[in-house]
């Protein structure tokens, strides 16, 4: 079947795809008119029209002594274009919440918003930048209460707030880095609120940060299992407790070798138990002479 698109639009779509896929990065030269004529087998007028369309769309720009290059991509500021950015991030979060990070792509977000993929690439570097923004937006949803008295109670609440955020967004733990944190507003707000628990305890800076990072990493490490648990529940139609009960008739003799039949172990109990043991260990550190 013949392609109904005009030849110049097919060239535009192909170059936009190369930019979207990262084959052409900001500042990279775009194929010249002659190169387009040779690669796509079109006349000079068609090649010139394709380049003009790309320039009009903001995908490319002219650079002195270089020619046409991929235009820089800039995310609009909140004051200048907050609505557009918020719409993009909200759409991306909805995709990740519904189908996981594997389903998230610039193309999928563009389709959800009803815009061309290239529209997003004029504002975002790549999917990596988008995932940073949705992680930050997830933490920005947290409503912080007045901290309870005592560092232990404060850290417990901080851990529970983080855990609840991961439950709302099971894809989120994979985007949180302990050793290479991104200082975006939502993530920074969580860090500052949590670190207040350690004020006035006489801890040096290194110990403060290691205490904070250890707790964050514990919650994150446990929460990594939420996504697979959600998937398993969808596949089986049973919660982990229901599944364990159903397996007793088959695995009962094996389970009896390591635990009493009916002993419950799920992510919630594992999180709560491990958190208290972590706080026990930190108590030894913080209260030592």
- What CATH number does the domain containing 242 carry? 1.10.357.10
Per the prediction, the chain carries an average pLDDT of 81
Structure-model confidence comparison of residues 234 and 116, the more confident one: 116
- Do 93 and 20 belong to one domain? no
CATH number for position 125:
1.10.10.60
- Do 29 and 95 belong to one domain? no
Question: What is the average pLDDT across 115-132?
Answer: 74
- In angstroms, the CA 148 to CA 137 distance is 25
- Do 159 and 250 belong to one domain? yes
Question: DSSP state, 256?
Answer: T
Sign of the torsion formed by the C-alpha atoms of 213, 214, 220 and 221? positive
Question: What is the average pLDDT across 105-131?
Answer: 78
Domain around 42: 7-70
Count of structural domains, the chain: 3
H/E element, 70:
strand 67-70
Q: How confident is the model at residue 220 (pLDDT cuts 50, 70, 90)?
A: very high
- Do 115 and 161 belong to one domain? no
Q: How confident is the model at residue 72 (pLDDT cuts 50, 70, 90)?
A: confident
Q: Percent of the chain scored above 90 by pLDDT?
A: 35
Burial 91-100 (b: 16+ CB within 10 A, else e): bbbebbbeee
For residue 49, tell me if it sits in a domain.
yes
How confident is the model over 45-54, as pLDDT tens digits?
Answer: 888 888 888 8
- Do 94 and 57 belong to one domain? no
Question: What is the average pLDDT across 247-256?
Answer: 56
> What's the angle, vertex CA 143, arms to CA 138 and CA 147, rounded to 5?
130
- Do 121 and 35 belong to one domain? no
pLDDT at 219: 96
**Highest mean predicted confidence (pLDDT) among 59-73, 122-136, 195-209, 222-236:** 195-209
**Highest mean predicted confidence (pLDDT) among 17-26, 73-82, 116-125, 273-282:** 273-282
pLDDT at 82: 41
- Do 120 and 155 belong to one domain? no
For residue 1, tell me if it sits in a domain.
no
For residue 223, tell me if it sits in a domain.
yes
For residue 272, tell me if it sits in a domain.
yes
| Whole-model pTM over 0.75 | no
CATH number for position 65:
1.10.10.10
């Amino acid at each position: 079947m013949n392609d109904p698109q005009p030849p110049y639009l097919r060239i535009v779509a192909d170059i936009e795809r190369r930019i979207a896929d990262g084959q052409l990065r900001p500042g990279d030269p775009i194929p010249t008119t002659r190169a387009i004529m040779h690669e796509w087998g079109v006349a000079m007028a068609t090649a010139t029209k394709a380049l003009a369309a790309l320039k009009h769309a903001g995908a490319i720009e002219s650079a002195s002594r270089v020619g046409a290059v991929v235009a820089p991509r800039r995310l609009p500021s909140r004051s200048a274009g907050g609505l557009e950015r918020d719409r993009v991030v909200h759409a991306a979060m909805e995709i990740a919440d519904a189908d996981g990070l594997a389903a998230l792509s610039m193309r999928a977000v563009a389709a959800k918003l009803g815009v061309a993929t290239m529209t997003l690439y004029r504002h975002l570097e790549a999917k990596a930048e988008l995932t940073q923004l949705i992680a930050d937006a997830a933490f920005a949803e947290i409503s912080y209460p007045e901290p309870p008295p005592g560092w232990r109670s404060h850290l417990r609440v901080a851990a529970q707030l983080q855990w609840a955020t991961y439950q709302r967004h099971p894809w989120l733990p994979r985007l949180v880095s302990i050793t290479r944190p991104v200082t975006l507003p939502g993530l920074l707000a969580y860090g500052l609120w949590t670190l207040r628990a350690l004020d006035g305890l006489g801890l040096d800076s290194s110990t403060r940060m290691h205490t904070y990072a250890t707790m964050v990493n514990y919650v994150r490490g446990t929460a990594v299992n939420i996504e697979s648990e959600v998937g398993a529940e969808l596949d089986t139609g049973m919660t982990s407790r229901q599944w364990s009960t159903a397996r007793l008739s088959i695995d009962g003799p094996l389970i009896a070798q390591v635990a009493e039949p009916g002993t419950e172990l799920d992510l919630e109990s594992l999180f709560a138990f491990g958190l208290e043991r972590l706080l026990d260990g930190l108590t030894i550190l913080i209260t030592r002479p």
